[in-house]
Amino acid sequence: MSTPIYTGGCACGAIRYSTPHAPVFQNLCQCRHCQQRSGSGHGAWLTFAARADMAITGEASDWDVKTDSGNVKTHSFCPVCGTPVFLRFAAMPDLIAVPAGSLDEPARFAPQALTYGVRGLPWDVVDPALTVFDRMPPR
């Protein structure tokens, strides 16, 4: 069995995750849901292609949100401390995303793009070298 290359969890330790795979996409997202969830101007996400290979311990609470595209995404968070721990997408059930701040080594996060730039707030200044998509990039 390979050693997990990405590990993390909630602030209180009740939920932990690990995966032996590298992310397929890393992004900052300025959609309104990410702004509300993060309490800032954007969310920071690592998306993994093999949800089935993401080991998760502990019980998360979920809530569903309908996105601008009409798809549903499920936010999962720790019911003890409230930390967001992962995100799943009804339209892409094999994917799972984790917030960069939940990583044991958050400095490993390397955003490749900014999504939902159309919703960006003037005070949320991000790296100008990032490719900006008004919405989600095409698959």
Tens of pLDDT, residue by residue over 61-112, are: 999 999 877 889 999 999 999 999 999 999 999 999 999 999 999 999 999 9
Listed residue (44, 101, 102, 34) closest to 65, CA to CA: 34
Report how far residue 131's alpha carbon sits from residue 128's, in angstroms, rounded to the nearest whole number: 8
Is the pLDDT at 129 greater than 90? The verdict is yes
- One of 3.50.50.60, 3.40.50.970, 3.20.20.80, 3.90.1590.10 is the CATH number of 6-132, namely 3.90.1590.10
> Which pTM was predicted?
0.91
Distance CA 8, CA 17 (A): 5
Interacting residues of 14 by C-beta distance below 8 A, sequence separation 6+: 58, 59, 78, 79, 80, 81
Per-residue pLDDT of 31-49, as tens digits, reads 998 898 888 999 999 999 9
Q: How many H helices and E strands in the chain? A: 1, 11
